[in-house]
Structure 1
Amino acid sequence: MNLTVEYEPIAELFRNAHAEGRRFLYEYEVYRLLGLSGSETPPKCVFIPRNAKPAEEEIMSLPGEKAVLKIVSPTIIHKTEVGGVRIVPKTPEKVRSAVRRMLSEVPERYAEWIERSPSAAPESYRGLSGAALQNAIAADLKGVLQVQFMPPDSSSFGNELIVGLRRTREFGMVISAGLGGTDTELYAARFRKGQAIVAALTEMTDGDAFFELFRKTVSYRKLAGLTRGQRRIITDEQLIECFESFIRMGNHFSPSNPDAPFIIEELEINPFTFTDYLMVPLDGMCRFSLPGDRAPGRPIHKIDNLLHPRSIGIVGVSAKRRNFGRIILENIIDSGFDRKNLVILREGGEDESGVRCVPSLGELKEPLDLFIVAIGAEQVPALVDEILERDAARSVLLIPGGLGETPESRDMAARMIARINEAHASLASGGDGGPIFLGANCMGVISRPGKFDTWFIPAAKMPDYRQYPCRRTAIVSQSGAFLLSRFSKNPEMSPSYLVSMGNQTDLTLGDMMRHFMNEDGIDVIAVYAEGFKDLDGLHFAQAVREAVRRDKQVVFYKAGRTPEGKNATSGHTASLAGDYMVCETCIRQAGAMMARSITEFQDLILLAETFSKAAIRGKRLAAVSGSGFEAVGMADSIHSDEYSLSLGTYSEGTRAALKEIIAAKGLERLVPVANPLDINPAATDEVHARVAEIMLADENIDAVIIGLDPLSPVTHSLAETDVDAFRMDAPDGILNLLPSIRNESGKPLVAVMDGGEAFEPLRRALRECGIPVFPVCDRAVAALAIYMESRLAGEGLKHAVYACALQ
Structure 2
Amino acid sequence: MTGRTGREGDGLGSPTDARPGALDVLFDPRSVAVVGASANPEKWGYWLASGALEGRGRRGVHLVNRRGGELRGVPFLPGLDALPEPPEHVVVAVPPPQVRPLVEQGLTAGARCFTVITSGGAGADEERRLAAHVTAAGARLLGPNCMGVVDTTAQLRLSWGEFPAGAVGLVSQSGNLALEIGRLLARSGQGFSRFVSLGNQRDIDAADALDALVAHPPTRVIAAYVEDFRDGRRLARTLAAAHAAGKPVLLLTVGGSAASGRAAASHTGALVSARATVEAVCRDAGALLLDTAGQLVDVALCLLGGARRLSSPGRRVAVVGDSGGQGALAADALTARGLDVPELSPGTAQALAEQLPPGTSCGNPVDLAGAGEADLGSYARVVRTLLAGGDADTVVLTGYFGDYASANPAQTAEECEVARQLATSVGESGCGGLVVHTMARGTPALAVLREHGIPVYERIEEAASALAATARLAAPVPAAEEPSAPPPPPPVRNGDYETTRALLTTYELPFPQAEFAPADPEQVTAAGRRVGFPLALKAMGLAHKTEAGGVVLGIADEAGLRTAFTRMRAGTGAVRYAVEAMVSPSYGVELIVGVRRDPAFGPVVMVGIGGTRAELDADTAVALAPLTVERARALLLSLRHAPLLTGWRGAPPVDLDAAAEAVCAVARAGADHPELAELEVNPLLVHPGGAIALDAHGVLLR
TM-score category (smaller protein):
0.5 to 0.7
- For residue 516 of structure 1, the aligned residue among 208, 213, 235 is 213
The letter of the residue matching 1:345 is V
- For residue 70 of structure 2, the aligned residue among 351, 355, 358 is 351
Q: Equivalents in 2 of 1:507, 1:756: separation in Å?
A: 43
The letter of the residue matching 2:398 is G
The letter of the residue matching 1:739 is A
The letter of the residue matching 1:648 is P
Shift of 1:522: 2.4
Q: Contact conserved, 1:625 with 1:679, CA < 8 A, in 2?
A: yes
Q: TM-score, normalised by structure 2?
A: 0.58
CA separation of 1:421 and 1:347: change in aligned 2, threshold 3 A: closer
Q: Equivalents in 2 of 1:553, 1:312: separation in Å?
A: 31
- For residue 178 of structure 2, the aligned residue among 471, 483, 488 is 483
The equivalent of 1:623 in structure 2 is 319
The equivalent of 1:638 in structure 2 is 334
Q: Contact conserved, 2:177 with 2:293, CA < 8 A, in 1?
A: no
* 1:395 partnered with 2:113: yes
The equivalent of 2:168 in structure 1 is 473
Give deviations 1:13-58, integer Å, cap 9, x for gaps. xxxxxxxxxxxxxxxxxxxxxxxxxxxxxxxxxxxxxxxxxxxxxx
* 1:314 partnered with 2:18: no
Shift of 1:366: 5.8
Q: Equivalents in 2 of 1:308, 1:765: separation in Å?
A: 32
Look up the SS of the partner of 1:646 in the other structure. coil
CA separation of 1:562 and 1:340: change in aligned 2, threshold 3 A: closer
RMSD over aligned CA atoms reads 3.4
Q: Aligned ranges for residues 149-188 of structure 1 at < 5 Å?
A: none
Q: Aligned ranges for residues 253-272 of structure 1 at < 5 Å?
A: none
The letter of the residue matching 2:323 is S
What residue ranges of structure 2 are gaps of 5+ in the alignment? 1-13, 259-272, 486-600, 603-702
Q: Contact conserved, 1:395 with 1:436, CA < 8 A, in 2?
A: yes
The letter of the residue matching 1:651 is S
Q: Equivalents in 2 of 1:673, 1:790: separation in Å?
A: 31
The equivalent of 1:603 in structure 2 is 298
Q: Equivalents in 2 of 1:417, 1:501: separation in Å?
A: 15
Q: Equivalents in 2 of 1:720, 1:636: separation in Å?
A: 29
Look up the SS of the partner of 1:637 in the other structure. helix
Q: Equivalents in 2 of 1:321, 1:525: separation in Å?
A: 31
CA separation of 1:562 and 1:769: change in aligned 2, threshold 3 A: farther
CA separation of 1:689 and 1:788: change in aligned 2, threshold 3 A: same
* 1:442 partnered with 2:125: no
* 1:378 partnered with 2:100: no
The letter of the residue matching 1:528 is Y
The letter of the residue matching 1:445 is V
Shift of 1:638: 3.0
Q: Equivalents in 2 of 1:344, 1:804: separation in Å?
A: 53
Q: TM-score, normalised by structure 1?
A: 0.51
Shift of 1:610: 1.9
The letter of the residue matching 1:676 is P
Report the number of matched residues.
Answer: 454
Give deviations 1:322-379, integer Å, cap 9, x for gaps. 632123212221x232397122233477835343554333445764221001112232
Q: Equivalents in 1 of 2:307, 2:52: separation in Å?
A: 31
Query: Would you identify which runs of 4 or more consecutive aligned residues in structure 1 move more than 6 Å?
Result: 803-807
The equivalent of 1:752 in structure 2 is 436
CA separation of 1:340 and 1:790: change in aligned 2, threshold 3 A: closer
Shift of 1:654: 0.8
- For residue 658 of structure 1, the aligned residue among 342, 349, 352 is 352
Q: Aligned ranges for residues 243-642 of structure 1 at < 5 Å?
A: 297-298=15-16, 302-318=22-38, 323-333=43-53, 335-338=54-57, 341-347=60-66, 351-355=70-74, 357-364=76-83, 367-388=86-107, 390=108, 392-400=110-118, 402=119, 411-424=122-135, 426=136, 434-457=138-161, 462=162, 465=164, 470-491=165-186, 492-533=189-230, 535=231, 537-560=232-255, 579-611=274-306, 616-617=311-312, 618-639=314-335
Q: Contact conserved, 1:312 with 1:343, CA < 8 A, in 2?
A: yes
The equivalent of 1:779 in structure 2 is 462
Q: Contact conserved, 1:372 with 1:399, CA < 8 A, in 2?
A: yes
Q: Contact conserved, 2:400 with 2:440, CA < 8 A, in 1?
A: no
Shift of 1:585: 2.1
Q: Equivalents in 2 of 1:753, 1:615: separation in Å?
A: 19
CA separation of 1:441 and 1:719: change in aligned 2, threshold 3 A: farther
What residue ranges of structure 1 are gaps of 5+ in the alignment? 1-295, 404-408, 427-432, 564-577, 711-715
Shift of 1:532: 1.8
Give deviations 1:46-86, integer Å, cap 9, x for gaps. xxxxxxxxxxxxxxxxxxxxxxxxxxxxxxxxxxxxxxxxx
Q: Contact conserved, 1:616 with 1:791, CA < 8 A, in 2?
A: yes
Q: Contact conserved, 1:742 with 1:749, CA < 8 A, in 2?
A: yes
Q: Equivalents in 1 of 2:352, 2:99: separation in Å?
A: 68
Shift of 1:615: 6.3
Q: Contact conserved, 1:633 with 1:778, CA < 8 A, in 2?
A: no
The letter of the residue matching 1:583 is V
The letter of the residue matching 2:168 is T
Q: Contact conserved, 1:607 with 1:784, CA < 8 A, in 2?
A: yes
Q: Contact conserved, 1:688 with 1:708, CA < 8 A, in 2?
A: no
Give deviations 1:136-161, integer Å, cap 9, x for gaps. xxxxxxxxxxxxxxxxxxxxxxxxxx
Q: Contact conserved, 1:718 with 1:761, CA < 8 A, in 2?
A: no
